[in-house]
A and B are shown apart, each in its own frame.
Chain A
């Protein structure tokens, strides 16, 4: 019986693992009523699997039986994989046992669709209710809202869990129809809107009644698959920035397409997961959320795709030389934030440190600025001249390419030789 339980856990973890979301942040909740658990501001990663992804929540499916037949999904109806299911009680107990040993921050509950959306949602709700009311569990719970589930069930779930999410998966309706005939964007956006409405109403309610329970305090998130269809980065990032304009949307995850379906003609034949592109998209995502960039500055009709050889911030800086040099001792925080090699932390340190004295290169280096990048774009105290004037965009680009990441482990030797040679040669040409 014990071995059975382990086997079940394995099957359902295998089915859940392609969901990228791992965040357990956004809620701070103290332990209440002598129960178990708390939610800890920015979330804690408790382990890391061999693919370098973190394990924060017990990411699991209630069942991996599914009626739908989405080509990109491992749990599609026509796929030949072992199927299993937990009873709500089993899963609740398991969560508590893992939590008591500090293995996890909480539960990330997802499910294949059985019978219909409402039936599935009700079963998931039973697990969450058990955890919150029977076990007095105060930890983090992330639950998937099933596309097409009724508004009532979403309202009920939102009061119990910290985050609800609906996965968009395919950015355009046309491609979604092609790969997932059972789904349409309407059924995905509908629950998203419901979640947002309830959340905004709840915020109003809480202004009147301080003790009213919170509705999805950590907001909602979604996921987009990269590389399974032919959308370009501009389409993806435009969609992302639209989603971020909604008040409840906290994160958009990008999932590089892992070939889980080798025989389907509708899917591209890929050997490698598009990791570099995924990484660049996350970098662009960060620029949107923390660096006050507008999406049209990163991708536009002229540059519909992100440059894979350099990061999007550097790419923007090279395209806009008129914006530089930035004087770290005078210019505003927003301007300093735009310099490649200066992140949010260093920018904040610079702004507070320069009130005491003028900053020179040494001070910047100690603060943590990556001078290798930043030197082309700044002027500071005791600096002889502004470097960008002596360097062409091509020179900067080539000298700052992260070759190691691009070439991968196969040709590591080559990449070690290249970076030293290229800039020198080019410098001579110039």
Chain B
């Protein structure tokens, strides 16, 4: 059994493809430092990530593969699914071995799976575009300069509109956030915004010029239990959230109630970030507080991992 060890980066993976052809070996498993080699490992090779290696593979990829396939492979990489790296590895090896393009050979399980995982990831991207909800907050760096989150974003300006930051918390099952940034940058070009992935503990901040990654520090109190600390919200934020919620209720046609369809289109795991589904602070809702708590507990991570499988 041939085993490759690599550093779990995309560059490392491409270097592994290079080594596979160089050494004429096809590994049955791709592992990373710290993983324990299986019992029957006979041949263990440590891949060294080097520019000269992965740049050659990259060049070959751009020559042999269409743009759409390259995007699909990127999406598979961002899916962070176990075995997704080996899938990319196999796909690339098949591409380079085959005399003609394999991109449309959908009877091949690997080709089809790349397409299917890419579809799942792009669906998660779509979910982000749909269900990101921005909350207007006052810039937290002005309340607590000593914390110095990485959100300072250039020189402080005086006008109140630019002090507003539209902040959203998301919790996607795949690492889809980086793939949606172009969309948000284009659409919300004239407002400062930040989207924070609470599952992976990082986010992106747009300061009217460019989008940059940021982290929240331990002692920041901006997030409490993955929700935004209401202390930071602007005065009219809760009013608009309440308004939106009442609007969505008014829009429902009572004669056609179909909650199953609603859940199908808008899975429950997104609900706790959606103001229109926040039933607890709504006195007119006929759903009791207990049911509301039940929906919240359904959204906890252990439930989501089940869906992931």
The reply to whether B133 and A103 contact each other, CB–CB distance below 8 Å, is yes
Specify the chain B residue showing the minimal Cβ separation from A381: B107
The yes or no answer to B252 lying at the interface (CB within 8 A) is yes
Which of A5, A18, A51 is in CB contact (< 8 Å) with B257?
A: A51
Which of B251, B256, B259 is in CB contact (< 8 Å) with A59?
A: B251
Which of B109, B112, B253, B274 is in CB contact (< 8 Å) with A51?
A: B253
The distance from the CB of B277 to the nearest CB of chain A, in whole angstroms, is 8
The reply to whether B250 and A50 contact each other, CB–CB distance below 8 Å, is no
The reply to whether B106 and A103 contact each other, CB–CB distance below 8 Å, is no
The yes or no answer to B289 lying at the interface (CB within 8 A) is no
Specify the chain B residue showing the minimal Cβ separation from A275: B256
Which of A31, A48, A367 is in CB contact (< 8 Å) with B262?
A: A48
Expressed in whole angstroms, the Cα–Cα distance for A52 and B263 within the complex equals: 8
The reply to whether B255 and A273 contact each other, CB–CB distance below 8 Å, is yes
The reply to whether A46 and B131 contact each other, CB–CB distance below 8 Å, is yes
**Which chain B residues numbered 48 to 92 have a C-beta less than 8 Å away from chain A?**
none
The reply to whether A258 and B255 contact each other, CB–CB distance below 8 Å, is yes
The reply to whether A258 and B253 contact each other, CB–CB distance below 8 Å, is yes
The reply to whether B251 and A49 contact each other, CB–CB distance below 8 Å, is yes
Chain A residues with CB below 8 A from B265, complex form: 45, 48, 52, 54
Chain B residues with CB below 8 A from A307, complex form: none
Expressed in whole angstroms, the Cα–Cα distance for A54 and B166 within the complex equals: 24
The reply to whether B130 and A44 contact each other, CB–CB distance below 8 Å, is yes
The yes or no answer to A77 lying at the interface (CB within 8 A) is no
The distance from the CB of B184 to the nearest CB of chain A, in whole angstroms, is 8
Comparing A93-101, A183-191, A236-244, the segment that makes contact with chain B is: A93-101
Comparing B19-27, B210-218, B241-249, B291-299, the segment that makes contact with chain A is: B241-249
Which of B106, B132, B190, B246 is in CB contact (< 8 Å) with A102?
A: B132
Contacts A17-B253, A102-B132, A352-B104 given; does A97 touch B191 at CB 8 Å:
no
The distance from the CB of A30 to the nearest CB of chain B, in whole angstroms, is 6
**Which chain A residues numbered 1 to 56 have a C-beta less than 8 Å away from chain B?**
2, 5-6, 9-11, 13-14, 16-18, 30-31, 34-38, 40, 44-55
Expressed in whole angstroms, the Cα–Cα distance for A102 and B128 within the complex equals: 10
Specify the chain B residue showing the minimal Cβ separation from A18: B253
The reply to whether A9 and B107 contact each other, CB–CB distance below 8 Å, is no
Chain B residues with CB below 8 A from A5, complex form: 243
Chain A residues with CB below 8 A from B136, complex form: 100-101
Contacts A51-B256, A100-B191 given; does A349 touch B106 at CB 8 Å:
yes
Expressed in whole angstroms, the Cα–Cα distance for A18 and B186 within the complex equals: 33
Q: Mark B187-211, 1 if CB is under 8 A from A, else 0.
A: 1111100000000000000000000
The yes or no answer to A287 lying at the interface (CB within 8 A) is no
Specify the chain A residue showing the minimal Cβ separation from B164: A100
The yes or no answer to A210 lying at the interface (CB within 8 A) is no
The yes or no answer to A357 lying at the interface (CB within 8 A) is yes
Chain B residues with CB below 8 A from A98, complex form: 240, 244
The yes or no answer to A353 lying at the interface (CB within 8 A) is yes
Contacts A52-B261, A101-B166 given; does A17 touch B250 at CB 8 Å:
yes
User: What bracket does the count of chain B residues touching chain A fall in?
Assistant: 35 or more
Contacts A17-B253, A102-B132 given; does A36 touch B189 at CB 8 Å:
yes
The yes or no answer to A246 lying at the interface (CB within 8 A) is no
The yes or no answer to B177 lying at the interface (CB within 8 A) is no
Chain A residues with CB below 8 A from B107, complex form: 353, 356-357, 359, 363, 366-367
The yes or no answer to B300 lying at the interface (CB within 8 A) is no
The yes or no answer to A259 lying at the interface (CB within 8 A) is yes
Chain B residues with CB below 8 A from A174, complex form: none
Specify the chain B residue showing the minimal Cβ separation from A59: B251
The reply to whether B105 and A356 contact each other, CB–CB distance below 8 Å, is yes
Contacts A47-B266, A54-B265 given; does A353 touch B134 at CB 8 Å:
no
Specify the chain B residue showing the minimal Cβ separation from A58: B247
Which of B130, B239, B242, B264: most chain A Cβ within 10 A? B130
The yes or no answer to B144 lying at the interface (CB within 8 A) is no
Expressed in whole angstroms, the Cα–Cα distance for A16 and B247 within the complex equals: 11
Which of A6, A11, A16 is in CB contact (< 8 Å) with B243?
A: A6
The yes or no answer to B135 lying at the interface (CB within 8 A) is yes
The distance from the CB of A358 to the nearest CB of chain B, in whole angstroms, is 8
Chain B residues with CB below 8 A from A265, complex form: none
Expressed in whole angstroms, the Cα–Cα distance for A367 and B186 within the complex equals: 35
Expressed in whole angstroms, the Cα–Cα distance for A359 and B107 within the complex equals: 7
Specify the chain A residue showing the minimal Cβ separation from B132: A102
Expressed in whole angstroms, the Cα–Cα distance for A297 and B181 within the complex equals: 46
**Which chain A residues numbered 51 to 77 have a C-beta less than 8 Å away from chain B?**
51-55, 58-59
**Which chain B residues numbered 118 to 163 have a C-beta less than 8 Å away from chain A?**
126, 129-136
The reply to whether A34 and B102 contact each other, CB–CB distance below 8 Å, is no
Specify the chain B residue showing the minimal Cβ separation from A35: B190
The distance from the CB of B228 to the nearest CB of chain A, in whole angstroms, is 12
Specify the chain A residue showing the minimal Cβ separation from B274: A47
The yes or no answer to B225 lying at the interface (CB within 8 A) is no
Expressed in whole angstroms, the Cα–Cα distance for A34 and B105 within the complex equals: 44
Chain B residues with CB below 8 A from A103, complex form: 133, 244
Which of A10, A37, A101, A367 is in CB contact (< 8 Å) with B135?
A: A101
Expressed in whole angstroms, the Cα–Cα distance for A46 and B187 within the complex equals: 14
The yes or no answer to A384 lying at the interface (CB within 8 A) is no
Specify the chain B residue showing the minimal Cβ separation from A349: B106
Chain B residues with CB below 8 A from A44, complex form: 126, 129-130
Nearest 7 pairs between A and B by C-beta? A52-B261, A353-B106, A352-B104, A356-B105, A13-B250, A363-B107, A52-B258
- Interchain Cβ contacts under 8 Å between A and B, 16 examples: A11-B250, A13-B250, A31-B186, A34-B190, A44-B126, A44-B130, A47-B266, A48-B266, A50-B257, A97-B240, A100-B134, A100-B188, A101-B240, A102-B132, A258-B255, A273-B256
User: Residues of A with Cβ closer than 8 Å to B?
Assistant: 2, 5-6, 9-11, 13-14, 16-18, 30-31, 34-38, 40, 44-55, 58-59, 94, 97-98, 100-103, 136, 256, 258-259, 273, 275, 349, 352-353, 355-357, 359, 363, 366-367
